[in-house]
A and B are shown apart, each in its own frame.
Chain A
Amino acid sequence: METDKEDGSASFDAARYHRAIVRPLRATPRRLPLDLRVRYDIHGPLCDEVLARHLDEVIGCWSERSREQPDYSRAVYVALLKAHQDLLTNPAVRLHSVAWWSAYQPPEPDAEAELANPPLSDVDLYTVKHLGRPIDRPSSDVAAKGDTAVGPLDAAVDTSTTGAAGDAPAADTPITDTPAVDGQLTDDASTDRVRDLRALRIGDDVELSWIWPGWATEAIVSWDSDRIHRAVDREKYRQTGCWRTALSSELPDGEVFFSLAVRGAAPKRQAWSEAVSVMAPGRRQEVTYRVRRLWYRFPSRAYTVAFRADRPPPVQCDIVIGFSGADAFPETTEACKEIGRAYLASDMSTLLVTLPRKLGSGWLRCFLVMGESITLKDPDVSTLRIRSWLR
């Protein structure tokens, strides 16, 4: 926000905001800036009137852009609006108060990696609601460490089935009620949490695995800001050694918080463990490619390599096209001779490569040399085999 000193009016530069804030988020539309000052473009000293006008401009801009032609930017504006609506329902957040903004502390830099959450996350709200006391918010090292206590849970759960489970290999039961919590555990031996909770993202699915405490017979997994719960039976878990679920289409790309509590029989009743949470990493951007021989060219040693990204890469991808004359499929760039290089800046690109005749039979394979957050997925390996009459 740029404040005009003379008339006290604020001017919101929508073009600059789009360029500086929205464009970089197009690849990860759910990952909004955690710092609300950045998100709402708040700078410098404020008065109530200027703040209100500025917020109106910002929200108006988001609203207008979110109705434009569908594209990747529009998804960011829609997410910004949705997050704004969520914040309005949060009594702890007063966006139209200058005093609130003055006291506002942006989150720690290391929390930037987390999924965008309101200042008081849903996980925290859940704990406050059930336990009557706030707790330390798990920071971004949750994913690295694997587990963090969220709060004690101790009560019975109604595990009545309300519908068919997703197409996860492990059987799971949707449950309607969250664990009612009284904050007290009578059997200390039953309070052991699960250990070493890990989350692995496989496409649209998330695979969780953990070490059960000896006494537990069932786990309750919840995610999507605690809106979805599944019961996991220990015997069922044993079959595969993990539990896998498909995320809903509303959560396709971003990181997702999973929390997990286990229960088992205590001397007089069902006992619950403390919940443990883990951040499932966001879906990595995927670039696929296809190799096709150009038969109409003579001699037919010309191939097209067509790249396709599932969304525009946030940074330019540097891809090496290598050829290996070995019998075995090459695993590294070192095993190949570089015959071309592609720089992928948009979601589609095609490159024409011509193999020298002396190279004979072998394999054509692409390797990603720059673009850490991107996965380069090989096509059917048989399409990468190059056959030649020479050998």
Chain B
Amino acid sequence: MATLTCPYCYHKQAPAELYFVCDGQGSPGWESCIPRKDNQREQHTGYSGLAMPTFAPKRSKNGANPAPCPGCGASSARRACALCHTPLPVTLVDSPSPLIGMVGGTAAGKTVYLTVLNKQLREVISEPFRADVHLVGEQQAGSNSIHEWLQRYERALFTNGQLFGTTPPSPSGRRVPLVLQWRHPRRRFGWRTEFRGTILSFCDAAGEDILTQERADRQRYLKAADGLIVLLDAYQLPGVRSRVPLPEDNKEEKSLVDSVLAIVTEALRGAGTKTPKITVPVAVVVAKVDVIEPLLPEGHFLRQARPRVGDGYDEHFGANMHEHVRGLLYDRGASRIDRHVEANYATFRYFAVSSLGALPDYNEKEVNERGVQPKNVAEPLLWLMHLKGIIGQVKRG
């Protein structure tokens, strides 16, 4: 039976088990429900605001829509997570969507990556797909919301040219994810166009949250993820450290396998993987590739090549990038990464991305004078979406 994962608390459940959310319309002879505090929601998602009450579906009705609210008798069709009671986007209920997790060590640039990726998705990547991309969910708007957080970060990065400080770890191990709805048209049977929706949920965990196995095990999104983007800091590649000036945050040398990959692998294995290799597809991303570019010869694939722009994923470009990045890892003394990934993951691909596109001033925490010039930031996500059948391959001319 198909299950869906709540993009807010990562609880896996059958669609029939989903709760209903009262719409507060009331019915003759009954008093309307009013918004109230939901302790269970606060416990699982950290949302402490008022929300409409939720109720469980009746077993006899097999969870059929709509259902009457036991409090006010109003008929409701809106569904919510059975565990955290957060109302779910309709698209998610209609077509279970993949949950994309993102992890990385400290100072790997996860927050910058997420901010740039989100802006690229909404403004650049969605164009050739003619896709509608927007934030969804109650927790995405209002003060201290993810929407406000995103706006603040975008303004700092793109308008003011400022870098962010390190993301503080979450004491509860819980972090509000960024939930986007992606809807794009697809041709069926040659002439009929239908719109297909997908929910993309990204969690920006602090690097400290996966510093230890115990902390990583508490990251529920890791176990629930249908695809994972693992960010590796290019400054931590041995062959790079010895040849470039290191920023203050990266002075300490950390093994990328021991400090990131092995912990993530153990957390995923702990999620009950029975197969010899973990089947969750993993995009292993060498971030901050602008650091490496000056070390590569002119005309090198990673410096020059660009993916084909179109309404799909450029598989040819992706496959070539995979091998070139693998070659780079061996060349820069990081072959351990490849051996670890090869031994533990059934489906993986390497990427080299740069969120900023040019070396920033880490001391002054300023973006390069030329502005933000993202490079290949959406490729890992497009690959995962392609694997999940959400998008096709770009047509080759």
Contact = CB atoms under 8 A, between A and B. Distances in A.
A230 to B, nearest CB: 17
Q: In the A-B complex, list the 6 residue pairs whose CB atoms are closest, starting with the nearest.
A: A241-B373, A328-B330, A329-B323, A329-B327, A381-B323, A328-B327
B372 A238 contact: yes
A242 to B, nearest CB: 6
B113 to A, nearest CB: 15
B119 interface: yes
B373 A169 contact: no
B321 to A, nearest CB: 9
Interface string B120-162: 1001100100000000000000000000000000000011000
Contacts of A238: 158-159, 371-372
A212 B330 CA distance: 39
Interface of A: 167, 169, 196, 202, 209-212, 237-242, 326-331, 375, 378, 380-382
Nearest to A171: B127
B120 A169 contact: no
A227 B60 CA distance: 73
Contact of B327 (A169, A330, A382): A330
Contacts of A242: 373
A209 B358 CA distance: 12
**Interface size band for B:** 20 to 34
Given A238-B158, A238-B371, A327 B124 contact: no
Nearest to A239: B123
Contacts of B158: 238
Interface in B345-397: 357, 369-374
Contacts of B103: none
B120 A239 contact: yes
Contact of A329 (B324, B335, B373): B324
B174 to A, nearest CB: 32
Contacts, number: 69
Given A241-B357, A242-B373, A381-B319, A169 B309 contact: yes
Contacts of B374: 240-241
A380 B119 contact: no
Contacts of B338: 327-328
A240 B373 contact: yes
Interface in B288-340: 299-301, 304, 306, 309, 316, 319-320, 322-324, 326-331, 335, 338
Nearest to A205: B306
A118 B206 CA distance: 61
B295 to A, nearest CB: 11
A345 B319 CA distance: 31
Given A209-B370, A331-B300, 5 more contacts: A211-B370, A241-B373, A241-B374, A328-B331, A331-B328
B324 A196 contact: no
A86 B299 CA distance: 36
Nearest to B331: A331
A66 B313 CA distance: 44
A331 B299 CA distance: 12
A382 B120 contact: no
Interface in B140-191: 158-159
A380 B319 contact: yes
B14 to A, nearest CB: 40
Nearest to B339: A327
Given A326-B330, A329-B323, A380-B319, A241 B124 contact: no
B320 A381 contact: yes
A328 B320 contact: no
20 contacts: A169-B309, A196-B369, A209-B370, A211-B371, A237-B371, A238-B158, A240-B124, A242-B373, A327-B326, A327-B330, A327-B335, A329-B323, A329-B327, A331-B324, A331-B327, A331-B328, A331-B331, A380-B316, A381-B319, A382-B319
A378 B123 contact: no
A132 to B, nearest CB: 35
Contacts of B369: 196, 211
A300 to B, nearest CB: 23
A148 B234 CA distance: 36
A94 B368 CA distance: 50
A335 to B, nearest CB: 8
Contacts of A331: 300, 324, 327-328, 331
A115 B318 CA distance: 36
A329 B370 CA distance: 33
Nearest to A196: B370
Contact of A202 (B123, B304, B335, B357): B304
